[in-house]
Structure 1
Amino acid sequence: MSTLTKQNLFEGFLENSYADFTQVREEGKNSFLSQGLPTLKTEEYKFTAITKKLEQSISELKAAKPFAVSEDDVKAAIPSGFDGTVLVFANGHLLEDQCINVEGLDFSKLSDKSETALGSIAKVEKDPFVALNQASFDQGIHISIPKKEIVEKAILLLSFYKANEGQVIQPRVWIEAGDFAEVSFISQSVNLSDSSYFVNKVVEIKGGLNSQIRYYSLQNEGSNAIEVCNTETNLLQDSRFSSVTISLSGDMVRNNLNLNLLGSNSEGNMYGIYLLNGKAHVDNHTNVDHTIPHAESNELYKGILADHSRGVFNGKIFVRQDAQKTNAFQQNNNILLSEDAIVNTKPQLEIWADDVKCSHGCTTGQLDEEALFYLQARGIDKVQAKGLLLYAFAGEVLEHIQNDSFKTYVTELVQERLGSKF
């Protein structure tokens, strides 16, 4: 297979013309061409050689087209017992005829809107892949939760991916929750292809005054999939945001999760678990920006790595000079099950205020042999004992999922992976 070089990678792809968002797309294109693709000399990507991976895996860049998804495929993918709204996508395109329980939900294709705040939260200058998406995403979706509306049942964003070798899928999601609104989202991907393809996703979330937003993401890609996901959230006064990111597979996955606390008494909670085997590579970069006094953030990411897998965690907490009375906590813990598994972890604090409570830390180790022996001494075989200990380690993150059907579904996936399911 011939490979593309850094010089021409995406150049021809960006020549595609779109009738909508002309100015926005031009800004994205110019920013991407100015930044270029990241290399290992790029500080934010020093442990994740995604450009090299793209060069090796992609021979000809084309946008992946939508495809038909059967009703049976949709039903099979929905977690058992889930009865909320389901929005179905095929390669980033909304399949309106397959959506379920959409009555009363205000949503539309981004391509149907003449005006939008697209790009106002996820800035193109922050990351070249945000710029690439803004320049060349195909359709996208806009979801709006009105002021004071309480959406009691979660909204499932069910994305099916099926692409030929070297194709690009670029989902774009804009979510806005009005003042005093409450809503939960579940982002779940279903892989239907063994080819090497590239998912470049951008999610922008805006939380109004006293809003509550929960966003759960399950990444269970094919072993040849390359994915970059940029999620950025703005929170105003008294608002709450909680995210849980579960990464189970993929060739190379990069998650950029940015949280901007823009109002007093706002709160952000970011949790993640990555279970890696084979040669999977998952990189979680998080950024919490405290700009206003009296705000709080909590962050916990855990990783279990086996075989030749590699995990990266880089968490940044910024406390601006005016952000007095800030509480910010961050922790990253990892277990290595193989001598060949690697984890690079870098928790960071940058504090310009003096009246704050902040902490960060990381641990990397192996399974507790004494605890393993204790369980075996009580009649539990070694495989199940190991699985139980690993699940106890991972389960702390899963406890933050408040949707029962999705929590059960993810728990079963994790238990099956760890061998703790009886």
Structure 2
Amino acid sequence: MSKLTKEQIDQFFIEQFESFEQQLNGEKSLPLHKTRKEAFDTYKQSGFPAPKDEEYKYTNIAKAFASHISSVETSDIELTKEDVQKHFISKLKAINLVFVNGELNTSLSDLKDLPGGLIIENINDAQTKYESDFASYFNKADMAGADNFFSLNTAFTNGGAFIKVEKSAIIEQPLACYFFSTSQKNDMISQPRNMIIAGENSQATVIENFITLGEHASFTNAVTEITLEQDAIFNYYKYQNESDKAIHVGATMVEQRGKSVFNAGSFSLRGMMLRNNLNIAIHKPHSETNMYGMYLLDGKSHVDNHSVVDHIAPDCESNELYKGVLDGKSKGVFNGKIFVRQAAQKTNAFQSNGNILLADTAEVDTKPQLEIWADDVKCSHGCTVGQLDADQLFYLKARGIDEKTAKSMLLKAFAADVITTVKVDALRELIEKNIEERI
């Protein structure tokens, strides 16, 4: 299936869906499968996103998929606890959830003795065990930024995680989600789908870590839906240090249904082509949203960060800061959109994207956007692309610091205001270590 056309890719997924349906047996009668079929019908209307779609103008997922995904089969590789634990974040005390090719592996995950107020279920079981929650929260991300990859993921929903933090529950330990793609024997496609509910007055932290095992190519199409209720505080981190043959499309769909605080951090260090969609809808006044991102690229890595913040309610604040350091022939893309609806008076929305190019062959496309229908707001956006400041470099060298160390100091200072936002010490130390090694 090498170097396929877009039509052949679409036909491939049609055949995959037909095969997937045949394996479901009695589950076809449950509401989830009706949602799957509706989503796949939506997907078929325009198919696999390609550069003719404006949102994928600078990131040709279709070409990468067609050129690198050739032989997809069911993996027969069994991972042991020792296999996965060596990829866990060092010194992190967490509730570890392990996903293998998109499905929650209960034997490798910490599902016993969960703290009070925390529910974790296989998403297939949750549709009947927690029917009311499922009906209220699953696949409700009807917002700007939801694209056809979202529909494709919904169609193949199978075996992800349902996570609920109940009313007034404070979960002290972070939930560390490790997503393994097993591409040791053949190319691998995985489509993890997770839904998270942060109940009224709850607090929790989730870390997503994506790992490719093996030398073959992998395609991950991940969706995480997060809903925050009244007075919830939720921290979300996404960490990507994947293989040089990893293609990743990830959508994090967030709805702040009640007055709440949402903090997000995205850190992309390695991968062939990574696309991160962060889409947030703010429905209630006095909510706060903070988004931070860092991409540190070399070789031929391509990372595309797309964000949408939709201010629907008044008296809310959003802050967005993404920074990139690019070397080699790497490419970065940033497109941040802020919508301020007419009813969202007294909105404060700030957005900034800064980039440093360490090589003439590195490239970045950046496009911050504001669309405002309200008149009583404070909004700003901006972007910068440049090299290390020559004056600052000269200042350090004039004081006896060698050029390599001086550049390292400047780059670490450039990244610091993003890295320091990470509230989990072990994760922050891992990111700092990787940045130190890369620099």
Regarding TM over 0.5, the answer is yes
Give the one of 93, 102, 119 matched to 1:92: 102
For residues 44-103 of structure 1, give each alpha carbon's deviation from its aligned partner in whole angstroms, at most 9, with x where no partner exists: 1111111111111122445x5474333233332222321121111211222222223752
Give the one of 42, 48, 56 matched to 1:37: 48
Separation in structure 1 between the aligned mates of residue 98 and residue 294 of structure 2, nearest angstrom: 25
Aligned structure 1 segments of 4 or more residues deviating by more than 3 angstroms: 64-67, 122-125
Q: Label 1:231 to 1:398 Cα distance change in 2 as closer, same or farther (>3 A).
A: same
Give the one of 69, 79, 84 matched to 1:58: 69
Q: Label 1:140 to 1:267 Cα distance change in 2 as closer, same or farther (>3 A).
A: same
Give the one of 144, 161, 172 matched to 2:181: 161
Determine the structure 2 residue equivalent to 1:147: 167
User: What amino acid is aligned across from residue 5 of structure 2 in structure 1?
Assistant: T
For residues 97-155 of structure 1, give each alpha carbon's deviation from its aligned partner in whole angstroms, at most 9, with x where no partner exists: 22237523310001113332321126699311111111113311100000000111111
Equivalent pair of 1:236/1:264 in contact (CA under 8 Å): no
Tell whether 2:123 aligns with 1:110: yes
Aligned pairs for 1:353-372 (under 5 A) are 353-372=374-393
TM-score by length of 2: 0.91
Q: Label 1:80 to 1:416 Cα distance change in 2 as closer, same or farther (>3 A).
A: same
Equivalent pair of 1:202/1:229 in contact (CA under 8 Å): yes
User: What amino acid is aligned across from residue 26 of structure 1 in structure 2?
Assistant: K
Q: Secondary structure at the match of 2:422?
A: coil
Q: Label 1:334 to 1:246 Cα distance change in 2 as closer, same or farther (>3 A).
A: same
Q: Secondary structure at the match of 1:393?
A: helix
Separation in structure 2 between the aligned mates of residue 58 and residue 11 of structure 1, nearest angstrom: 16
Kindly tell me the number of residue pairs found equivalent between the two proteins: 417
Task: Tell me the CA shift for residue 388 of structure 1.
Answer: 1.5
Q: Secondary structure at the match of 2:299?
A: coil
Determine the structure 1 residue equivalent to 2:337: 316
Aligned pairs for 1:292-311 (under 5 A) are 292-311=313-332
Tell whether 2:246 aligns with 1:225: yes
Task: Tell me the CA shift for residue 396 of structure 1.
Answer: 1.1
Equivalent pair of 1:89/1:160 in contact (CA under 8 Å): yes
Tell whether 2:414 aligns with 1:393: yes
Larger CA deviation: 357-366 vs 75-84: 75-84
Separation in structure 1 between the aligned mates of residue 297 and residue 407 of structure 2, nearest angstrom: 16
Give % identity.
42
Q: Secondary structure at the match of 2:207?
A: strand
Equivalent pair of 2:181/2:218 in contact (CA under 8 Å): no
For residues 357-383 of structure 1, give each alpha carbon's deviation from its aligned partner in whole angstroms, at most 9, with x where no partner exists: 000000000011222222223333222
Give 5+ residue unaligned stretches, structure 2. none
Tell whether 2:196 aligns with 1:175: yes
Task: Tell me the CA shift for residue 413 of structure 1.
Answer: 1.2
Equivalent pair of 2:2/2:66 in contact (CA under 8 Å): no
Larger CA deviation: 65-74 vs 110-119: 65-74
Equivalent pair of 2:145/2:308 in contact (CA under 8 Å): no
Q: Label 1:380 to 1:100 Cα distance change in 2 as closer, same or farther (>3 A).
A: farther
Larger CA deviation: 154-163 vs 358-367: 154-163
Separation in structure 2 between the aligned mates of residue 373 and residue 161 of structure 1, nearest angstrom: 45
For residues 10-34 of structure 1, give each alpha carbon's deviation from its aligned partner in whole angstroms, at most 9, with x where no partner exists: 2222222033521011111001101
Determine the structure 1 residue equivalent to 2:281: 260
Separation in structure 2 between the aligned mates of residue 95 and residue 396 of structure 1, nearest angstrom: 36
Determine the structure 2 residue equivalent to 1:331: 352
For residues 210-257 of structure 1, give each alpha carbon's deviation from its aligned partner in whole angstroms, at most 9, with x where no partner exists: 000000110111001100001010003320000000000111111110
Separation in structure 2 between the aligned mates of residue 25 and residue 6 of structure 1, nearest angstrom: 22
Larger helix percent: 2
Q: Secondary structure at the match of 1:375?
A: helix
Q: Label 1:193 to 1:405 Cα distance change in 2 as closer, same or farther (>3 A).
A: same
Q: RMSD of the TM alignment (CA)?
A: 1.7
Equivalent pair of 1:6/1:51 in contact (CA under 8 Å): yes
Task: Tell me the CA shift for residue 391 of structure 1.
Answer: 1.2
Q: Secondary structure at the match of 1:119?
A: coil
Task: Tell me the CA shift for residue 4 of structure 1.
Answer: 2.4
Give the one of 71, 75, 85 matched to 2:81: 71
Larger CA deviation: 176-185 vs 405-414: 405-414
Equivalent pair of 1:305/1:338 in contact (CA under 8 Å): yes
Task: Tell me the CA shift for residue 167 of structure 1.
Answer: 2.5
Separation in structure 2 between the aligned mates of residue 184 and residue 107 of structure 1, nearest angstrom: 14
Determine the structure 1 residue equivalent to 2:15: 12
Q: Label 1:102 to 1:275 Cα distance change in 2 as closer, same or farther (>3 A).
A: farther
Q: Label 1:284 to 1:125 Cα distance change in 2 as closer, same or farther (>3 A).
A: closer
Equivalent pair of 1:4/1:58 in contact (CA under 8 Å): no
For residues 289-339 of structure 1, give each alpha carbon's deviation from its aligned partner in whole angstroms, at most 9, with x where no partner exists: 000111110000000111111100000000000000100000000001111
Q: Label 1:282 to 1:125 Cα distance change in 2 as closer, same or farther (>3 A).
A: closer
Task: Tell me the CA shift for residue 395 of structure 1.
Answer: 1.6
Separation in structure 2 between the aligned mates of residue 122 and residue 66 of structure 1, nearest angstrom: 36
Q: Label 1:51 to 1:171 Cα distance change in 2 as closer, same or farther (>3 A).
A: same
Separation in structure 2 between the aligned mates of residue 194 and residue 385 of structure 1, nearest angstrom: 36
Determine the structure 1 residue equivalent to 2:305: 284
Q: Label 1:39 to 1:49 Cα distance change in 2 as closer, same or farther (>3 A).
A: same
User: What amino acid is aligned across from residue 300 of structure 2 in structure 1?
Assistant: K
Separation in structure 2 between the aligned mates of residue 139 and residue 124 of structure 1, nearest angstrom: 27
Larger CA deviation: 23-32 vs 33-42: 33-42
TM-score by length of 1: 0.95
Q: Label 1:306 to 1:330 Cα distance change in 2 as closer, same or farther (>3 A).
A: same
Separation in structure 2 between the aligned mates of residue 339 and residue 182 of structure 1, nearest angstrom: 45
Separation in structure 1 between the aligned mates of residue 215 and residue 111 of structure 2, nearest angstrom: 31
Separation in structure 1 between the aligned mates of residue 138 and residue 59 of structure 2, nearest angstrom: 28
User: What amino acid is aligned across from residue 16 of structure 2 in structure 1?
Assistant: F
Determine the structure 1 residue equivalent to 2:3: 3
